[in-house]
Amino acid sequence: METAVFLSFAVLLLSALILLLGLRRRNLPPTVPGGLPIFGHLLLLGRQRQPLHRALADFSAAHGPSLLLRFASLRVLLISSPFAAGECLNTNDVAFANRPFLLAGKFLAFDYSSVGVAPYGPYWRDLRRILTAELLSPSRLQSFAGARADEVCSLLRCLFSQSTFNWFEVEMRQKLTDLTFNTVMRMIDGKRYHGETLSVTAENGRRFQRIVQEVFRLSGAACLEDYLPAMRWLGLGGMTKRMKKLGEEMDVLFQGMVDERRLRRRSPEMMEEKEEKTIVDVMLELQQDEPAQPGNYSDKVIKGMISGIILAGTDTSASTVEWALSLLLNHPEALQKAREEIDGQIGHDHLISDSDLHRLPYLHNVVKETLRLFPAAPLLLAHHSSRACTIQGYGEVPGGTMLLINAYAIHRDPRWWKEAERFKPERFEEGEELGGSDQGFRFLPFGSGRRRCPGEALAHRMMGLALGALIQCFEWERVGKELVDLREGEGLTMPKLIPLKAMCRPRQVMINVLSHL
């Protein structure tokens, strides 16, 4: 055992020395002083005591917008400028179209079968085609408009029932999470898992919620075993075992969904009248109709699709609405402007709907400004280079390099944004996010290039409808005189460190509408 440990660390140390000598010879991007043999910059980051996106932003501010770091055995290119981001996601898009093979993708995305983590190639292109042309097409999104409206109404009824027409304190995080989770799950398998009129038992709903929350937690956690394979080989760390066990639970849960929808399709009497076709239904049709396609749309592929849509579509949207409401509470003049726009365009005799959103540009700009300040994925999803390429005039960055683009740092850089730290939705009326051709990509809440998030349209509909309805139907104030705390927490989707609590009261002009929901 001791011999194996010694040999493992000796190999890592030798690799680190070879890598360091190679960097000096090839005029690669600068690095950050303080990296250690074997561990590279991992321990340096661990001492920062702040979220990873902030620690990496500090690195870039001190040492430059294009840095080459080392996370133990893995070479990492850190980009924090829009021009360099454009070179990676446009000029060298194909070279960086891969994803790194991290443990979360293996165990929590069904062996990299989810579109978000699948390797670039024919399989990924086929998944992407299904997602954009079948599952998240404009017509398919429109078919789920009723589900989105139902879930927003459920949230409004919950708040209205608590109010007794007076001010009351409410914590919004769990309510928004239930809203987005139910919306996405009704798209996936037609069921509600939280709140009123459940489609599953309360016990199964809690079990599902526990598993999904654990998936989010482990997906966003730093996993040393990704960067120090010796830990995995020697059974150290424990993250591999935890992910594997959770993946087995997910497999049982999602296979149950697939089997139930398959049974319903074979038994028409089980289908409800005018029941919308779910995402699982569409995938099962493809499984039956196109057996020659790669993977035959196997159950594993379907489960990977379920996993990817849940991870990308639930916590991200809920977190963004929570951030948006927090920012509006700290800027009551912006909240009033958004309310006046809704009142002027929608009125007080009916609830805001999907079809109204295009008439509410200021509301849309509030969402965009929220995503600028608090992007749902502050480091985007990591890319991985399949071949060497040149970035920012440096020597060729070798293939096999992981790419991290710090959207958080780019979005708050005063070189690219006027009053970069200020919440100012009006900046998007002036086209400030477009910049000039020399400024590259400076607004990247959904990424860019081939791996751009395919759920952008769905996210904007969910976030716009939920936020618009809350503004239209209720008055909002802070709890006390203190500003809402805007510190970020740790995690894949950059949640608020402290869940939002606010004072809420039904608007008098909307009482009639709320009473008839």
SS (HEC) of 59-97: HHHHHCCEEEEEECCEEEEEECCHHHHHHHHHHCCCCCC
Q: How many angstroms separate the CA atoms of 136 and 113, rounded?
A: 18
What's the token pair of residue 51? 């979220």
Q: How confident is the model at residue 84 (pLDDT cuts 50, 70, 90)?
A: very high
Instruction: Give the three-state DSSP class for 383.
Output: strand
For residue 265, is pLDDT > 90?
A: no
Least confident range from 76-85, 295-304, 366-375, 409-418: namely 295-304
Higher pLDDT, 508 or 217: 508
For residue 505, is pLDDT > 70?
A: yes
For residue 12, is pLDDT > 90?
A: no
Q: How confident is the model at residue 11 (pLDDT cuts 50, 70, 90)?
A: very low
Q: Kindly list the strands in the beta sheet with 402-405, ordered across the sheet, starting from the edge strand earlier in the chain.
A: 66-71, 74-79, 402-405, 383-384
**Residue 434 confidence (pLDDT):** 62
Taking all residues of the chain, what is their mean pLDDT, rounded to a whole number?
A: 89
Q: How many angstroms separate the CA atoms of 440 and 22, rounded?
A: 29
Q: Distances from the Cα of 499 to the Cαs of 177, 378, 421, 517, in angstroms?
A: 12, 19, 21, 27
Question: Nearest 10 degrees: CA dihedral of 302, 111, 105, 112?
Answer: -60
Residue showing tokens 């939280």: 194
* 171, amino acid identity: E
Q: How many angstroms separate the CA atoms of 173 and 175, rounded?
A: 5
**Residue 432 confidence (pLDDT):** 65
As a whole number, mean pLDDT of residues 423-444 equals: 77
Which residues lie closer than 8 Å to 258 by C-beta, 6 or more apart? 280, 284, 299, 302, 303
**Residue 138 confidence (pLDDT):** 94
Under a CB-based contact definition with an 8 Å cutoff, are residues 182 and 148 in contact?
no
pLDDT tens, residue by residue, 140-162: 999 999 999 999 999 999 999 99
Pairing of strands 402-405, 74-79: parallel
pLDDT tens, residue by residue, 24-49: 456 788 888 888 888 898 888 877 78
What letter does residue 114 receive in the DSSP assignment? S
Instruction: Give the three-state DSSP class for 474.
Output: strand
Question: Does the annotation list 453 as a binding residue?
Answer: yes
Least confident range from 312-316, 465-469, 472-476: namely 312-316
Can you list the domains of the chain with their CATH numbers?
2-94+379-438 (3.30.43.20), 123-376+445-515 (1.10.630.10)
Instruction: Give the three-state DSSP class for 417.
Output: coil
**Residue 27 confidence (pLDDT):** 72
Q: How confident is the model at residue 274 (pLDDT cuts 50, 70, 90)?
A: low
**Residue 23 confidence (pLDDT):** 46
pTM of the model: 0.91
Residue showing tokens 């937690």: 217
Residue showing tokens 């060298």: 92
Q: How confident is the model at residue 92 (pLDDT cuts 50, 70, 90)?
A: very high
Which residues lie closer than 8 Å to 375 by C-beta, 6 or more apart? 407, 408, 411, 444, 445, 494
**Residue 509 confidence (pLDDT):** 97
